[in-house]
Amino acid sequence: MIKKTFEELKLTGQLPSPPGVGMKILKLTQGEDFSADEIGRTIMADAALTGRLLKIANSAQSAGARPVTTVSEATMRLGVRAVRNVALGLSLISSYRAGACSAFSYDRYWSLSLARAVAAQSISRAMRIGQPPEAYILGLLSDIGTLALVCVYPEEYASLLASTGGNRRALREAERKRFEIDHAEVGSYMLEEWGLPTAFADAIQHYEERTQSREETDLTRILRHANCLAEVCLTTEGEKVDWASLASGLERMRTELGLAEEAFNEFCNAIIREWVEWGATLKVPAQKGVDIARIALLAAQQPLPTDELVDASALVDGTPSSPSGGTSVVEGSKSDLTQEARVPQASLRILAVDDDAMSLRLLERQLTKAGHKVLCARDGNEGLQLALETNPQVVIADWMMPGLSGLELCRSLRRIESGRDIFFLLLTGRDEEDRVVEAFDAGVDDFIAKPFNARILMARIKGGQRVIELKEQVETERRTVRSQVAELGVLTRKLRTAALTDVLTELPNRRYAMKKLEQEWDSSIRNNRPLSLIMIDIDHFKKVNDVHGHDIGDVVLKETANVLRTTARQGEEPARLGGEEFLVLCPNTSLVQAKACAERLRAAIEANKIRGGSFDGHVTASLGVAERTADTATPDALIKCADEAVYAAKSGGRNRVCASPSLSTNSTHAKAG
Amino acid sequence: MSSTLPHHDHDSNSGSAAAAGVLDAAVLQSLKDLGGEDDPGLFFELIDLFLQDAPQRMNEIRRGLEQGDIHLLERAAHTLKSSSANIGALSLSTLCRRMEEQARKHENAGLAELYDSSRQLWPHVEAALRAAKS
């Protein structure tokens, strides 16, 4: 039932959610198989986020280590999951810094959450429980449920804040009464929704409870301590807070940490300093309050009965009006759901389509009254035409209509570019609900069963509005990404070419040749075609280098590469394997044909005049030819055969072509050089 | 016949006392409120639209019955079902829903009786709506 209440909150579309990058990261990591690379790329699209993430990565590692400077390093250091959590939290802060609830202090909210985050991270590290970066995010999101209720019911929440003076426990009770769900429950459902560990949800639900259960989880314990310290952070000495309770909370933490008083105070002060620093980074107010060492003293001196005390974590904006026993009369507390209509919302262009004139008129009025611009069509065909002409953001259409039905209208719209982003809301009869699967298949975004009241309609439209905004945001981002990808594509192609090309000769290199050989190998087996290769080794190349120098050696290599390039025919692919060794791949070529080709190459090399520096003349080469046979099991074996043939050519006097062993007896011996 | 009739108080011989019950006061009020100050004529307009349209749908239902055109009947009952619910004629809407359901399942038995009930109910609905306008 509480879960159901949460579903209703979701329906309003007003629950906080991480925008843009945060949302993308959430989506990316919702499956199990995501890569650190993808996450890194997504984060890097947001410069501010990147900076903050690096800061966390650096603060999370031990002093003296080399600083983390890139997102991928940070990802390696913190782990993908931790990076995801951090990005999520940070993108939330930046988009919920202010809002519609006038009585709610958004600043104080984030200040407290930040203090919990910093404290939880330190406590997790000190107690060696859990992952410090995860504890950080747990702290940051520890009160997200309150933010959610504030977002959904800004005015009503203001009155709750007024009636409870912001006292957390009283507030929780009032929330349950008013909304049938409290902030702790909302928060834990939200974390579950976002795919965060269930232990998070559990901790959020219990850390504020007064009584500490025996089965309390580690994370709950961390968060409870962090919360205590956060309250210390935001409290100044003059305030009428429950010093005794703060003091006992701190004492419990000190015992669990096993620290002496002085060491514990230093531990807390370090956290407070870190919080102040973080506040500056994230532009969240964070100012050192009471001196930690004074708290026990203040608790001892406390003269006030506890029911007159202000809650240290109250989120009321301005000075908390001192509530006397929760009986204070609240101004403007008469709030019912009609107020929802007054919450400002952007005007949408909506096309309403219904064949029943009365229903259509009713719908039109309900929508106009909510501030939307409405166009009406009396049937599906007119609806389609109007949709094409006016390009509405939302289409609301009846399912059953003569001519083009609502479903057919939706399908037609989804087929065209401009219709794809329209939020399509289908009106169905109650008894058609079991057929909605068909409707969703047709591309409908949502449906409402008739008859519906205006409230439900507006809630669905708000939901649609969120989708529209997100889509528009995504579209903008996609455009950016698209241009980046295009640049990347060019670069990638250049890189790939570079990676597979020999720098000196500009022939394909060994890596390319081996890859290509494997492809041709498979293809020749598949198609039962011959495959041959020619291995070429320049004769006495070492001597050229020794006598004329490496520069001349390079000239010789380049010249020889040119000869191969120009002499090879279509389909014969020369490559440089390294040193003075070349290879020509001959697909669809028998040994006899390959030998003819090799002879052509040999003659061309010999005929080529090379001039450079002290070198003036020509080189020769020894060539080995091999063909794939039943005996050659692998591409490597084929290369080995060709190598052996080269060896045979060398020992046979060089400047000649030899074939792999089986045919070597009748190899053509060209004129000896 | 009585087995297919809904257990409503507007039986064939119900008098004007029952007519007051054929419209839901809350729905009527919400329609008046919807018009508000900037569109005070809305309420009358909606009633007029309904009074123009409903007899045509009733006719289609009858023709569907006479000609055995079950699809015509289903579609007309479907439309009248939601428009009558919107205007607050909930009993009529219920009858239409039952006709639509039966027509979809091709259960012809009892359809004529359901139509009869709605035909007898119609004058009360019409009278009540005209009364609401004045």
Amino acid in the structure at residue A363: L
Query: Cα separation of A524 and A634, whole Å?
Result: 12
A359–B86 CB contact, under 8 Å: yes
- CA-nearest residue to A354 within chain B is B79
Query: Cα separation of A531 and A584, whole Å?
Result: 11
Q: Which two tokens stand for residue A115?
A: 């203090």
> What dihedral do alpha carbons A453, A179, A217, A120 form, nearest 10°?
100
Residues of A in contact with B101 (CB under 8 A): 431
Spatial CA neighbour of A106 closest among A315, A343, A385: A315
Phi, psi (deg, nearest 5) at residue B7: -85, 70
Query: Cα separation of B32 and B30, whole Å?
Result: 5
- Report domain extents, chain A: 2-11+101-320, 17-95, 344-470, 510-666
Residues of B in contact with A357 (CB under 8 A): 49, 52-53
**A356–B contact, CB cutoff 8 A:** yes
For the segment B33-83, what is each residue's pLDDT rounded down to a tens digit? 888 888 888 999 999 999 999 999 999 999 999 999 999 999 999 999 989
B42–A366 CB contact, under 8 Å: no
Domain A2-11+101-320 is in which class?
Answer: mainly alpha
Task: Identify the CATH assignment for A344-470 out of 3.40.50.2300, 3.40.605.10, 3.90.700.10, 3.40.50.720.
Answer: 3.40.50.2300
Query: Cα separation of A407 and A441, whole Å?
Result: 10
Beta strands A394-398 and A423-429, pairing class: parallel
**Bridge-partner residues for A501, per DSSP?**
A508
**A378–B contact, CB cutoff 8 A:** no
Size of interface A-B (CB pairs under 8 A): 55
For the segment A323-335, what is each residue's pLDDT rounded down to a tens digit? 333 333 333 333 3
Q: Which two tokens stand for residue B5?
A: 């009739």
Strand, coil or helix: A140: helix
Residue among A402, A431, A451 minimizing CB distance to B86: A451
A411 CA to chain B: closest CA distance, Å? 21
Contacts with A, B 5-34, CB within 8 Å: 30-31, 34
Residue among A355, A366, A451 minimizing CB distance to B79: A355
Domain A510-666: CATH architecture, name and number where available: 2-Layer Sandwich (3.30)
Residues of B in contact with A402 (CB under 8 A): 75
Phi, psi (deg, nearest 5) at residue A402: -70, 155
Question: Where do runs of H (alpha helix) occur along A218-294?
Answer: 218-233, 243-257, 261-282
What domains lie within chain B, and their CATH numbers? 23-133 (1.20.120.160)
Contacts with A, B 90-109, CB within 8 Å: 93, 97, 100-101
- CA-nearest residue to B50 within chain A is A358
The alpha carbon of residue A11 and the mean position of all alpha carbons in its chain are separated, in whole angstroms, by: 25
**Mutate which: A342, A354, A359, A450, vs B, most B CBs within 10 A:** A359
Residues of A in contact with B50 (CB under 8 A): 358
B100–A429 CB contact, under 8 Å: yes
Query: Cα separation of A68 and A77, whole Å?
Result: 8
B82–A366 CB contact, under 8 Å: no
B82–A362 CB contact, under 8 Å: no
Beta strands A423-429 and A581-587, pairing class: unpaired
Query: Cα separation of B80 and B103, whole Å?
Result: 14
Strand, coil or helix: A97: coil
Query: Cα separation of A275 and A313, whole Å?
Result: 16
Question: Where do runs of H (alpha helix) occur along A416-453?
Answer: 436-441
Question: What residues in chain A have per-residue pLDDT under 70?
Answer: 1-4, 13, 17-23, 26-36, 60-65, 81-82, 85, 211-214, 281, 302-313, 317-345, 430-433, 480, 482-497, 661-673
Residues of A in contact with B30 (CB under 8 A): 453-454
A362–B50 CB contact, under 8 Å: no
Query: Cα separation of A649 and A667, whole Å?
Result: 10
Residue among A358, A362, A431 minimizing CB distance to B101: A431
ipTM, two decimals, is 0.80
A366–B101 CB contact, under 8 Å: no
Sign of CA dihedral A262, A266, A271, A277: positive
Query: Cα separation of A609 and A597, whole Å?
Result: 20
For the segment A547-588, what is each residue's pLDDT rounded down to a tens digit? 998 889 999 999 999 999 989 888 888 999 989 999 999 999
Where does residue A241 rank: exposed (0-12), middle (13-18), buried (19+ CB within 10 A)?
Answer: buried
Q: Which two tokens stand for residue A16?
A: 């906080």
Q: Which two tokens stand for residue A540?
A: 């006495």
Query: Cα separation of B35 and B38, whole Å?
Result: 7
Spatial CA neighbour of A315 closest among A493, A165, A519, A121: A165
Cis preceding linkage at A451, omega within 30: yes
Q: Annotate A514-554 with DSSP letters as a single string.
A: HHHHHHHHHHHHHTT--EEEEEEEETTHHHHHHHH-HHHHH
**B50–A contact, CB cutoff 8 A:** yes
B86–A362 CB contact, under 8 Å: yes
**A355–B contact, CB cutoff 8 A:** yes
Phi, psi (deg, nearest 5) at residue A352: -105, 130
The residue with tokens 């007024």 is: A162
Query: Cα separation of A86 and A278, whole Å?
Result: 14
Q: Apex CA A458: angle with CA A349 and CA A373, to 5°?
A: 20
